[in-house]
Structure 1
Amino acid sequence: MSTVALCAAAEARRRGRPVWLVNASDAESLRGGVLEILHQIDAPEAVARAVREGTATAPDRVWEVLSGRRGLLVLDNADDPGVPAAGDASAPADGTGWIRPGGGLMVLVTTRHTDASTWGAWVRMRALGTLDDASAAAVLRRAASQVDDPGGEALALARRLGGPPLALHLAGAYLAAPFARWRSFAGPCRPVGGRSSRRRASSDVAHRCHHGARDRRTRSPQRGHGDVR
Structure 2
Amino acid sequence: MVISLNSIKGGVGKSTLAVNLAAWLVSQGHDVLLVDGDEQETASDFTAWREQTLGQTGFTLVNMTGANLRKQVEQMKVKYDHIVIDTGGRDTTSQRAALSVADVALIPFAPRSFDLWTINKVIELIDEIQAVRNEPLIPYVFLSRADIKSADNREVSQALAGFAQLTFLPYPISNRKAFSNAAGVGLAVFETETPDSKAVAEINSLFTHVLHGHNTPATA
Same fold (TM over 0.5): no
- Indicate the structure whose relative CO is greater, using CA pairs within 8 Å and at least 6 residues apart: 2
Say which structure is richer in strand. 2
The bucket for the TM-score relative to the shorter chain is 0.3 to 0.5
What is the TM-score with the length of structure 2 in the denominator? 0.36
